[in-house]
Amino acid sequence: MILTALAAFALFCAALPATMFLANRRLFVLHPFADSLSHSRESRPLRAGERPDPVPSPNLMSDPRAEREGEIENPNHVSNDSAMPQLSVLIPARNEATGIEASILAALASKNVVLEVVVLDDDSEDATAEIVSRIAVRDDRVRLVTGQPLPDGWNGKQHACYLLSQAAKYPRLVFIDADVRLKPSALATLVGYQNETGVALLSAFPHQETVTILEQWLLPLMHFILLGFLPMSRMRQSTQPSYAAGCGQLFVTGKEDYEKAGTHAAIRATRHDGLKLPRAYRIAGLSTDCVDGSALAECRMYTTSGEVIRGLLKNAVEGIANPRLIVPFTLILLGGTLLPVIVVAIASITGQRAALLLGIAAIIIAHVPRGIAAVQFRQSWLGVVCHLPSIALFVAIQWQALLNHVLGRKTKWRGRVG
């Protein structure tokens, strides 16, 4: 009887995120009109904070003949500038020599937008600044900004983003990490979606390139946690701070909304801008949204197993690894993965058929979201097969992060602890 009850609890813990994941997976995909909006229906750039007019049907948004005839092949042609959104792509960079050039060149290849790319060199110890300067000589849309000494109480990235926002000349801001490589249609597609929905802060989750085993185990869990525990329909109907979610690798916003939310100064001390920046917007009464960006951008977040662990440790306490959330998340995550395996093992030995069937069902259901994500988001199948050890390691990292916080230990990142 006790084993059957544990099996039922395991089935509940597995079914809870799986059910939410299935409900969210279609909501997470960009609205079907977004691609046609990438050809831009604007007769002028949308002012920051301005809400769009109702969107016409897709067949009125673009002329397919124009595309075939090459009339919009050059997105920066002077005759088209007034009809396209104007964006400042802002990239904070500290010791990013290995990837900054690819990031800048990918942004410059964006179609159907007018843009500048502003890179802030945040006291890099490598050739980051030299690489950016070399590109700026060839393309006047690129500017290099030199960072300033980090003030007390500020995290390095948030300070860099704040300085970049001050340097931006266009009314719409796009914050991307230095390891993000945008697809040519990405910015126009995201702007189109933002214009359609009127959302103040839009975040997209790029496709995560994973090579090492720990990358393949752990990084896909960002989709599992997001879609398995965030009620996206409620999130889009509300500005409650508790529904704040996003990806710090890619944000799109207007200057007026950004300033109303308090800029990055509102989250100056945090490392978790993916959660904290949307929360600042929602506290200010502004809407936020997050969408699947796996077809819009690529990102290699970490390159070694050590970086994966340190990367997850550095801001975990601002997410799940806090006293309010860590216990229920541990119960649900381990209850839906480890517990059913234990139940099945014991039930197989003792011959308790009901517990055995419930445990097997829990194991299967627990793997469903990972399998769907592997197909929909092009994630590694190794992470699907190793769902149990990846969840166990993820939970262990959360508890280690909480212990580090209690003991006052900070994880060093990019040569800084802030």
pTM listed for this prediction: 0.84
Q: Are residues 105 and 247 in the same domain?
A: yes
Residue 412 covered by a domain: no
The rounded distance, in Å, linking the Cα atoms of 117 and 145 is 11
Is residue 309, in this structure, part of any structural domain at all? no
- Look at residue 365 and give its three-state secondary structure: helix
Q: What is the pLDDT tens value at each position of the chain, 418 positions in all?
A: 899 999 999 999 999 999 999 999 999 998 644 444 444 333 333 333 343 333 333 332 333 333 333 333 344 433 356 579 999 999 999 999 999 999 999 999 999 999 999 999 998 999 999 999 999 999 999 999 999 999 999 999 999 999 999 999 999 999 999 999 999 999 999 999 999 999 999 999 999 999 999 999 999 999 999 999 999 999 999 999 999 999 999 999 999 999 999 999 999 999 889 999 999 999 999 999 999 999 999 999 888 889 899 989 887 888 898 899 999 999 999 999 999 999 999 999 999 999 999 999 999 999 999 999 999 999 999 999 999 999 999 999 999 999 998 988 877 766 655 5
pLDDT, position 414:
64
Co-location of 33 and 22 in the same domain: no
Return d(Cα 191, Cα 46) in angstroms, integer: 9
Whole-number pLDDT of residue 271: 86
pLDDT of residue 87: 97
- Looking at the structure of the chain, the number of domains it has is 2
Structural domain span for residue 129: 27-303
Same domain, 170 and 50: yes
Asked whether residue 247 is domain-assigned, the answer is yes
Question: CATH number for the domain including 98?
Answer: 3.90.550.10
CB atoms closer than 10 angstroms to residue 146: 10
The residues with which 416 forms a beta bridge, in sequence order, are: 413
* Residue 338 falls inside a structural domain: yes
CA 225/CA 397 separation, integer angstroms: 15
Residues 200 and 156 grouped into a single domain: yes
Pairing state between β 288-299 and 201-208? parallel
- Which of 277, 303, 329 terminates a domain? The answer is 303
What sign for the dihedral angle of Cα 33, 175, 207, 182? Answer: positive
| C-alpha span between 39 and 113 (Å, rounded) | 9
At which of 303, 333, 351 does a domain end?
303
* 7/152 same-domain check: no
Q: Which helix (H) or strand (E) holds 298?
A: strand 288-299
- Among 269, 303, 337, the domain boundary falls at 303
Does the residue 392 lie in any domain? yes
In the prediction, which pLDDT does 417 show?
Answer: 58
Angle, helix 387-407 to helix 338-350, in steps of 10 degrees: 130
Residues 62 and 151 in one domain: yes
* Structure confidence at residue 340 (pLDDT): 97
Residues 6+ apart with CB under 8 A from 186: 110, 204, 293, 296, 297
Answer yes or no: is 237 within a domain: yes
Residues 388, 268, single domain; the answer is no
pLDDT value of residue 17: 97
Q: Tell me whether residue 308 is in a domain.
A: no
Residues 91 and 102 placed together within one structural domain of the fold: yes
Question: For residue 112, with 0-12 CB atoms within 10 Å meaning exposed, 13-18 middle and 19 or more buried, which class applies?
Answer: buried
Give a yes or no: residue 231 inside a domain: yes
Distance (Å, rounded) from C-alpha 65 to C-alpha 71?
9
Question: Do 49 and 12 belong to one domain?
Answer: no
Q: 116 and 210: one domain?
A: yes
Domain identity same for 101 and 38? yes
- Torsion angle in degrees (nearest 10) through CA of 227, 233, 238, 243: -10
Q: Based on the domain organization, do 166 and 67 belong to the same domain?
A: yes
CB atoms within 10 A of CB 323: 10
Under 8 Å between Cβ of 330 and 14: no
